[in-house]
Structures are given as C-alpha cells and as structure tokens.
Structure 1
Amino acid sequence: MATTSGLTFAHAADRFRTYLEVECDASPHTIRNYLSDLEQFGTFAKTVRPSEAPLALEHVDAEFILSFLNALHGQGAGYRTLARKMSALRSFLDYFQRQEILPNNVARQVRAPKVRRPLPDVLPIDHVFALLNTNAAEPLEVRDQAILELFYAAGIRVSELVALDLRDVDLPSGTLRVLGKGKRERQVFFGRTAQQALQAYLDIRQPQDPSDPALFLNHRGRRLSTRGVQLLVKKHCEQTGLPPSTSPHTLRHAFATHLLDNGADLRSIQELLGHQQLSTTQQYTHVSTARLFEVYDQSHPRARRHRQT
C-alpha cells in the first residue's frame, strides 16, 4: 500500500479536482461545489490546528470531521448543508482509499445528519393561470411569456431551460430534448398554449450573432443566464401578486403536483422530471390535502360523509 507521505490536504484536493474533471466528467457546477466544501474544511483545519500547517491528509480523522460539522451547526448551518459537506468529504476520502493511499475512509465512521425535508408549498392552479394569462406586447414580454409557459407545461429545471438550443425544440410535435443532471438526456412535452407562446417568441427572436444556437436570449441578444430567468420570474410573480418566494422551481413543483392530482402515476412523473430515484419525486410531489380527502371520502366505505343514505 502506498503512503500519504508528503501529500497534504490541499494537494489531495487538487488531485481530486483532476479526477472529477477527467475521469468523472463532472459538470463545472458539481466540481465547484465539491471544491468549495473541501476548501472550507481546509480553512477550518488551519483555525483549529494552527500548529499543523499544512494539514496532512493522513491526519484527517473522524473526530476532526465531527468537530467541523459541529462548528458549522453552531454557525447556523442547516441539516441539508451539513449533509452535503459530509457527502463531499466521503467522496473525497473514498477516492484516496480506492487509490490505496488511505487504509480506510474515516468519514464513513461519522454519521451524516438526517436531512429534514420541509414540504414545499404548491401554487393552486388558479394562481398559476393568473401568472400565465398576461398580455405580452413588448419583445421581452413575449419571451417571458414563452418561458413561463414552458416551465409549467414541461416541468423543466431552470438550468435545463437556459441550456436549450433551437435544435432541441420540435414545435409541431410539442416536444423538447432536455439535458438534465448528470448529462442525462430526456424528452419532455408541452401543450398547445406553450406551442403558441414559443412560436410567438421565435417570430421576434433577434440574436446578436445569427449563428447563436441559444433558444432564449437576453436583451443583448445573447444566451439568457440562470440569474436572468430567476429575476424575470420574480418580477412577473410580484406583478401578479404571488408570494415573493415563488421561483422557477415552484412552477416545476406545480407541474408535478397538478399532474399527480389529476391522476398521473408517480413513475411517469419521475420520467418527466428526470429524477433517477422515485423517492426524490415522492418528496416534493406530495398529494394535496384536498386531493387526499377526496380520495378517502370517495374510496372508504365508512367515510362517505356527504352521501345521503
């Protein structure tokens, strides 16, 4: 077995970056998140172990990791944040164990905090329709209308929307080719109203560079950014009087929940959303209380309170 002689935590993080880029072909977003978590751990090490600088990889132990998590929790970090830091450290140390540089992964001796998942609020259908039923006149309003329609019609992520190119859209068939998380490709659908909104936008789309393949453009004629989409959704929600917390993900959640409320099965919704695990779909496509009561009231023989006998 190789030894960790001379391998510092910082140098190990650099090697892990190369592994993510070359062998895993991870997205820049994923790599950035991993390295940010590792850098935070390294900074913590310098604070609590100033006499040991730089930190040697072999000196990272379970007690040290637990101290790091406790410190973050004391600073107000939530369970989801702590779970992500724990996941990053486990993956990092797993790599060096597989390379036989470490004898074991000490992060696996630390119990990851259980993530408490709050149930997200669901926009009622009439609120969604109020957001979508606007009179778009200016070019940017026409673009925004197409974006809002597509979010609710197809249930795509904001990252998926901004990555769309013209070639990904098939208007006649009402389908989109989407590249989701993990670079997994899937096909999603949209209805007639979204078709009409997209056609209206394509009729006035003006790229700065005629060869630019981006579907949605900003006011400069370049590909629209994630932040730009978030801001435009917020603006239209404020104008409609919807809660300020309404976001692109809120529309994605409404898409899934309204499908479920109208009889779609979870497996189909899972495919449309691009989830790898059904449990992910279950966590935020919970059936509304009204729907649950309706099913109970209609299905249980002793619960039909409103039926006269």
Structure 2
Amino acid sequence: MSSESPLLPAVEGFLRYLKVERQLSPLTLINYRRQLTVVVELLDALKVTDWTRLDAALVRTLAARSSRSGLKPASLALRLSALRSFLDWLISQGTIQANPAKGVATPRAPRHLPKNIDVDEVNQLLEIDLNDPLAVRDRAMLEVMYGAGLRLSELTGIDVNHLELASGEVWVTGKGSKERRLPMGKTAVLWLEHWLALRELFSPQDNALFLSKLGKRISARNVQKRFAEWGIKQGLSSHVHPHKLRHSFATHMLESSGDLRAVQELLGHANLATTQIYTHLDFQHLASVYDAAHPRAKRGKT
C-alpha cells in the first residue's frame, strides 16, 4: 500500500480499532490488512481519492477486477467481507452515510466439509514412542488438542496456572479474548502430569505450559511441524495438522452425544451455524450406514 495514498489513514485507524478495541488475533489483523491493502491499490488505480466517493458500482468494479486477476470465490468473499466491515466502521465514525458494499452480492464458493481423523486413526496417532522428553511433550499436546477440541492459538497460549489437574480442567483464551473453561479427560491429564515432571529440564523462561527446546513458549509453526511429523511416523494415511484434530473432536463428540449446543460451547463458537457444519459430517456417516444396511436402500437394484 502506498504510504502516500489518501485512503490509507482511515484504513490504519480501522486496524487500530480492531487491535485495541476488538482485540482480534494477530493473524486476523494480518488478513484484514492484506485484503484492504489490495482494495486501496485498486482504488488508487481508479483515481479514487476519498472514501466518500465509493459507491456500489465501484465496489462491483473492484470485485470484477479481483475476479479477473484469478481470485477464487472464497477469497473474493473474504475481500468483500473485510471491505464491508471497514465501511461499517467508517459509518460509525461519521465519514460515510451508507455502506455501498452491502448491495454487492458475494460469490458462492463450494462448501468443503472439514476433514477429520476417525477414532482408530486417532488412537494410532497417539501411541507415540516415549523415548525422550520432547515426545512426552508432543503426546501431551496431542492429547490436550484432541481431548479439549482446542484451536492452535488456544493450545500454545496455555500457561501452567491455567490447569486444574485435580478436576481435569483447563482455561483457554479464544477468539475476541473470550475465556472458557473446558474438561480434558483423564488421558490428557495423565500425559500433562508426565510432561510437567519433565518441563523443568528445558529451563522455562516464562509460565508457558508447552515449551520449545530453548525453553520458550512453543510457536504455532513448531506445533504444526511436530504434528505433521508424528502423523507420518505413526503411518496415518492423511496429513495431520492441529485444526484436523479439532475437527475430529467436534465430529466424534457430535456423533456420540448429538448435543449440538454442548459442542458449540466446547468449541467456543459464537454462532451455532458455525457448529452446524458438523451435522453434515454426521449425516454423511448416517447416510452411508443406511445405504449399506437398509434393504430398501439398494439403489439401482430390484
């Protein structure tokens, strides 16, 4: 983004608002900045120098140019969403009177259901050879991630004093700095106890629960790398990453309990619609069982 663009100061003000008042995560802020950077560049090319000049026709032009540049529907929807949020903020600041992006349709992207690991593969993944302290740490991270259905940022953000092992609970901070208290299960507690007995070997530099080899709070990238490596070592057929374990937790909980509201609370979803995607996964499983078992479901057969 050109530092000389007259559109820039408002964008920077919006990003400060998201960081300070909304307390959004660094990754979310990066995504907003990235999308609004491109919007400003496109408007600069169109000789737009003031946000009050933006109308629905210009927004449609932005969408068309983004699409012609090869942007996929899901990414275009993300760009328009960021623009709508920014323009809503401009309305709250009294800069503009209406949001011209709200009249522009968002392209429909094909809905991809999250992939999960079945219970047998989860058990296979968690049977880790415990020859060194790092393996114990990784087993504890995997158990907590799957046992509580955490986001990656929630896992890496846990401090030692966030644990209540006697009751099998953990405090985590989710999106929007919202805290929630979660059960973990006996297996996760057991491996946390194993890890805590070894944690001091790494000379901890702070109160972080999970540490790198250097004694610092483990990074999200390091967790991703270690999980992927364990997936390969344990012979799983699909790539293992933290969010897939969260998806697996949600799917397995819903299949067993059928309690959508409880799963919503455990996952920390603000909107029930976000959790409802797992009902599609559950229905797919039920439909496949039905097709295989019911005598009137033999499609194409007499």
Name the TM-score, length of structure 1 as normaliser: 0.86
What is the distance in 2 between the residues matched to 1:208 and 1:297? 53
**Residue aligning to 1:28:** 26
What does residue range 82-161 of structure 1 map to in structure 2 within 5 Å?
82-161=76-155
Specify every segment of 5 or more residues in structure 2 that has no aligned partner in the other structure, as ranges.
none
Alignment of 1:174 with 2:168, yes or no, is yes
Alignment of 1:291 with 2:289, yes or no, is no
CA shift digits 1:71-104 (9 cap, x unpaired): 3323333322222211111111112222222122
**Does the Cα contact within 8 Å between 1:260 and 1:266 map onto a contact in 2?**
yes
Call closer, same or farther: CA 1:112–1:225 in 2, change over 3 Å: same
**Does the Cα contact within 8 Å between 1:86 and 1:107 map onto a contact in 2?**
yes
Call closer, same or farther: CA 1:127–1:23 in 2, change over 3 Å: closer
CA shift digits 1:200-225 (9 cap, x unpaired): 11110137665611000011110001
**Does the Cα contact within 8 Å between 1:37 and 1:88 map onto a contact in 2?**
yes
**Does the Cα contact within 8 Å between 1:162 and 1:226 map onto a contact in 2?**
yes
What is the distance in 2 between the residues matched to 1:111 and 1:304? 40
Call closer, same or farther: CA 1:72–1:225 in 2, change over 3 Å: same
Computed over aligned residues only, the root mean square deviation of the Cα atoms, in angstroms, reads 2.5
- With 202-211 and 212-221 compared, the bigger mean Cα shift is at 202-211
**Residue aligning to 2:62:** 68
Name the amino acid aligned to 2:121. H
Q: SS at the partner of 1:76? A: coil
Name the amino acid aligned to 1:21. K
Call closer, same or farther: CA 1:155–1:21 in 2, change over 3 Å: closer
Matched length: 293
Name the amino acid aligned to 1:216. F
Q: SS at the partner of 2:61? A: helix
Name the amino acid aligned to 1:195. V
What does residue range 1-309 of structure 1 map to in structure 2 within 5 Å?
8-46=6-44, 48-49=45-46, 52=47, 55-206=49-200, 210=204, 212-285=206-279, 286-287=281-282, 289-292=284-287, 294=289
**Does the Cα contact within 8 Å between 1:261 and 1:291 map onto a contact in 2?**
no
Q: SS at the partner of 2:200? A: coil
Q: SS at the partner of 1:178? A: strand
**Does the Cα contact within 8 Å between 1:10 and 1:42 map onto a contact in 2?**
yes
What is the distance in 1 between the residues matched to 2:104 and 2:49? 20
Name the amino acid aligned to 1:235. E
Q: In percent, how many aligned pairs have the same letter?
A: 37
Residue 112 (structure 1) shift: 1.9
**Does the Cα contact within 8 Å between 1:174 and 1:192 map onto a contact in 2?**
yes
What is the distance in 2 between the residues matched to 1:289 and 1:110? 33
Residue 133 (structure 1) shift: 1.1
Q: SS at the partner of 2:172? A: strand
Call closer, same or farther: CA 1:184–1:98 in 2, change over 3 Å: same
Specify every segment of 5 or more residues in structure 1 that has no aligned partner in the other structure, as ranges.
1-6
CA shift digits 1:144-165 (9 cap, x unpaired): 0101111111110111000000
Name the amino acid aligned to 1:29. L
Q: SS at the partner of 1:119? A: coil
Q: SS at the partner of 1:287? A: helix
**Does the Cα contact within 8 Å between 1:261 and 1:288 map onto a contact in 2?**
no
**Does the Cα contact within 8 Å between 1:234 and 1:244 map onto a contact in 2?**
no
Call closer, same or farther: CA 1:202–1:273 in 2, change over 3 Å: same
Name the amino acid aligned to 1:154. A
What is the distance in 2 between the residues matched to 1:192 and 1:291? 29
Name the amino acid aligned to 2:42. F
